[in-house]
């Protein structure tokens, strides 16, 4: 049998190297990486600043464990705190691990404040928080839970964009509300700003913690450093991963002071979390994101891309039902009977890599460093893909 467990349906292409927004396959084709390794490769492939930061660190020290002081970790955490709502950061290695941490921290906060019973979280239908047992329970997606026993306890799942639905399930055991500002895997479904503000108000009213899952939306993806900034809300806890270190595995849980104070030595941990290599990649990524003008340029480029996509939607309303998302987190809602993956396959034939999401959505999550010429490439590939889809070549 295949020595790699067959948990993925893989596209039969492999890559030899990457150059900025492009990937070069082993059979010599050049693709625009419009999926960015699923919202991970924020600075593109082989970015000179990231590569040299990582090589320099690799030649000095990789890992010592959190038994010891890690100055690179403290320095990076200080920078993150400075750039966000948070007062402290816990480092881990993935999105699911960050969300597990976020849920645990919310529970611990209530426990140390005399309310051990308040372990329950309110979560939203259509969300995705990772593939661990707790995060599967939180999202309650039947497809992901099938065969894995009873869903983890402690989550009350409600439909999104209804504050009434949230209000109805709040009980004396509720401790937190969990939300992705834009539901990613669910189909790039942005939640209304008023709804997000309403969740903040409900949390305040009932002394709940607001946990935002910015694993996909965070670190510049939507044109602001964090997507919750668009709605002008302040979370209590935020989970990050994906784009945080541009492809080096890294996750982080950010929290306000009152929440972070609940976490004392021995309460949580991660062997690899925040090691020197991850911190070098994350630190270099954040430096670029915080460079003067980086995010405003990203917003400009994304406007060009949105305009181009809109022209495709206008030309092909029979294929593109709607475009949704923010910044460079974009979903093309494909109109049935056309199928997202089919459109994606045709786009790939024209050199553009994409990724599907729920609700028949084709996702674009290109590196944040794309420029006008990449926008043109994406639009041209998609135009040709639409033509192919119509003639079913
Ligand atoms: C991808 C994702 C996760 C899980 O991240 P992993 O690194 O795959 O564990 C969690 N939440 C959201 C919103 C995601 O998009």
CATH of the domain at 358: 3.90.1150.10
Is 47 exposed, middle or buried (CB count within 10 Å of its CB: 0-12, 13-18, 19+)? buried
Q: What is the pLDDT of residues 359-390, one digit of tens each?
A: 999 999 999 999 999 999 999 999 999 999 99
Residue 44 lies in a domain: no
CB of 141 shorter than 6 A to ligand 1: no
* 28 and 64 assigned to the same domain: no
**Cα dist. 181→46, 143, 189, 340 in Å?**
30, 22, 9, 23
Q: Is the whole model's pTM more than 0.85, yes or no?
A: yes
Domain hosting residue 110, numbered range = 49-289
* 197 and 340 assigned to the same domain: no
Q: What is the pLDDT of residues 286-315, one digit of tens each?
A: 999 999 999 999 999 999 999 999 999 999
CB of 95 shorter than 6 A to ligand 1: yes
Residue 279 lies in a domain: yes
Q: Which of 241, 162, 154 is nearest to 196 (CA)?
A: 162
CB of 241 shorter than 6 A to ligand 1: yes
Q: Which of 255, 289, 323 is the last residue of a domain?
A: 289
Q: Which helix (H) or strand (E) holds 81?
A: helix 71-83
Q: Please report the atom of ligand 1 found closest to the CA of residue 184.
A: 15
Q: Is the pLDDT of residue 393 over 70?
A: no
Q: What is the pLDDT of residues 25-82, one digit of tens each?
A: 999 999 999 999 999 999 999 999 999 999 999 999 999 999 999 999 999 999 999 9
Contact 378, 32 (CB under 8 A): yes
Residue 344, token pair as written in the block:
């994606």
What CATH number should be reported for the domain holding residue 95? 3.40.640.10
* 266 and 386 assigned to the same domain: no
Q: How far is the CA of 387 from the centre of ligand 1 (A)?
A: 33
3-state percent breakdown (helix, strand, coil) of the chain, nearest 5: 40, 20, 40
User: How many other CB atoms sit within 10 Å of the CB of residue 25?
Assistant: 13
Number of structural domains the chain divides into = 2
Q: Please report the atom of ligand 1 found closest to the CA of residue 185.
A: 15
Residue 3 lies in a domain: no
Contacts 24+ apart (CB under 8 A), 291-300: 294/220, 294/368, 295/220, 295/223, 295/224, 295/225, 298/220, 298/223, 298/327, 298/328, 298/368, 299/223, 299/327
């Amino acid at each position: 049998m295949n020595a790699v467990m067959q948990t993925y349906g893989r596209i039969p292409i492999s890559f030899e190297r990457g150059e900025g927004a492009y990937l070069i396959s082993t059979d010599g084709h050049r693709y625009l990486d419009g999926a960015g390794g699923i919202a991970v490769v924020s600075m593109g492939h082989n970015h000179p600043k990231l590569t040299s930061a990582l090589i320099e660190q690799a030649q000095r020290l990789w890992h010592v464990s959190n038994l010891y002081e890690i100055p690179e970790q403290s320095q990076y955490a200080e920078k993150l705190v400075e750039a966000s709502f948070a007062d402290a950061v816990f480092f881990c290695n993935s999105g699911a691990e960050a969300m597990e941490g976020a849920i645990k921290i919310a529970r611990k906060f209530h426990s140390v404040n005399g309310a051990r019973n308040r372990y329950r979280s309110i979560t939203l239908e259509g969300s995705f928080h990772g593939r661990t047992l707790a995060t599967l329970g939180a999202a309650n997606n039947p497809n992901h839970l099938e065969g894995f026993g009873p869903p983890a306890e402690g989550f009350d799942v409600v439909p999104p964009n209804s504050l009434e639905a949230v209000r109805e399930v709040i009980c004396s055991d509720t401790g937190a509300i969990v939300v992705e500002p834009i539901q990613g895997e669910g189909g790039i479904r942005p939640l209304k700003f008023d709804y997000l503000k309403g969740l903040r108000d409900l949390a305040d009213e009932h002394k709940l913690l607001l946990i935002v899952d910015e694993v996909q939306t965070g670190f510049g993806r939507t044109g602001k450093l964090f997507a919750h900034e668009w709605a002008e809300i302040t979370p209590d806890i935020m989970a990050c991963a994906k784009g945080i270190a541009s492809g080096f595995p890294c996750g982080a849980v950010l929290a306000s002071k009152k929440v972070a104070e609940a976490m004392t030595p021995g309460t949580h941990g991660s062997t690899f979390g925040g090691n020197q290599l991850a911190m070098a990649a994350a630190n270099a990524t954040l430096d670029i994101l915080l460079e003067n003008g980086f995010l405003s340029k990203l917003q400009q480029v994304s406007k060009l891309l949105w305009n181009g996509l809109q022209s495709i939607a206008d030309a092909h309303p029979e294929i593109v039902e709607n475009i949704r998302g923010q910044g460079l987190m974009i979903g093309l809602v494909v109109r049935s009977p056309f199928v997202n993956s089919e459109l994606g396959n045709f786009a790939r034939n024209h050199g553009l890599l994409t990724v599907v999401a729920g609700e028949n959505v084709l996702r674009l999550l290109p590196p944040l460093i794309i420029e006008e010429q990449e926008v043109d490439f994406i639009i041209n590939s998609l135009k040709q893909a639409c033509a192919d889809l119509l003639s079913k070549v």
